[in-house]
Amino acid sequence: MTASAYAWQSVRAEALRRIRTREWPPGAMIPKEAEIAQELGCARATVNRALRDLAEAGYLDRRRKGGTRVTETPVRRAVFDIAIVRHEVEQSGASYGYTLLEDRTERLPDHLAATLDQPRGTRWRRVIALHSAGKRPFCLEDRWLNPDMVPKERADFAASSANEWLVRNVPFTGGELSFQARKADTALASRLGCARGSAVFGVERITRTDDAAVTAVTLTYAPGYRLTTTLG
């Protein structure tokens, strides 16, 4: 069998078969990548890609210098795509609207600079925009952008959102995601067209490339928003 005979998806399928049939039982150490590559007649990098995907799906536990084991209790992980807010609105059947409220350079708050691995006092681009559904506010986007990756001369958000531009132009390799429910203060209530103290839903997200953080955003949705995702 030639080195190109197995694509990484085929290696993944074979490894998953061995896990499910208990050829590789829960908790067991699996063969080394080089051994699997030799057995299947493929490159070690192909095996690495397949096993990394299975680890991300919760089937394998990979430890640096500690080998790879089958997890005792495989955990399936929910995968969240970064949605384009305009698509969310249009898919609901409403007409989409967008208003840029602020676009300026500001000093990162100290807690955020630390989270983003930036020196204290670093200045990033801050963009605040309102997305609407029909004539009603839908989502307030409050976003910090790494100016080295999203300079003003390259990305103008007067007519189209940073959310949409980033999804289309800046690939990301990882990040953090959190959700929270909170009460709208006076300023937020004014922008979302709701009563002060209304319960609103917020999503805080940081996205990164291999080299640096790209953006940190808080998306706050008007009362009545419902988050829906799928389990794969």
Q: Whole domain around residue 22: which residue ranges? A: 8-70
Same domain, 30 and 95: no
Q: Which of 70, 94, 112 is the last residue of a domain?
A: 70
**pTM for the whole thing?**
0.68
In a domain, 229, yes or no: no
Per-residue confidence (pLDDT) for residue 56, from 0 to 100: 82
Per-residue confidence (pLDDT) for residue 82, from 0 to 100: 77
Mean pLDDT by 10 residues, the chain (232 residues): 63 92 92 93 91 87 84 65 87 95 96 93 97 96 95 90 90 85 96 96 91 93 85 57
85-88 contact pairs (CB < 8 A, 24+): 85/131, 85/138, 85/139, 85/141, 85/161, 85/163, 85/164, 85/219, 86/131, 86/161, 86/164, 88/138
Q: Which amino acid is at 195?
A: A
Pick from 72, 65, 59: which is nearest to 26 by CA?
72
Same domain, 133 and 40: no
**Biggest CA-to-CA distance, the chain:** 68
Per-residue confidence (pLDDT) for residue 86, from 0 to 100: 94
In a domain, 231, yes or no: no
Same domain, 61 and 122: no
Per-residue confidence (pLDDT) for residue 168, from 0 to 100: 86
- Phi first, then psi, for residue 16 (nearest 5°) are -65, -35
Per-residue confidence (pLDDT) for residue 3, from 0 to 100: 41
Same domain, 204 and 95: yes
In a domain, 79, yes or no: no
Per-residue confidence (pLDDT) for residue 230, from 0 to 100: 64
Pick from 223, 224, 206: which is nearest to 215 by CA?
206
Same domain, 51 and 160: no
Domain count, the chain: 2
For residue 186, what is the enclosing H or E element?
Answer: helix 186-192
Per-residue confidence (pLDDT) for residue 75, from 0 to 100: 59
Same domain, 122 and 58: no
Per-residue confidence (pLDDT) for residue 121, from 0 to 100: 95
Q: Which of 46, 70, 94 is the last residue of a domain?
A: 70
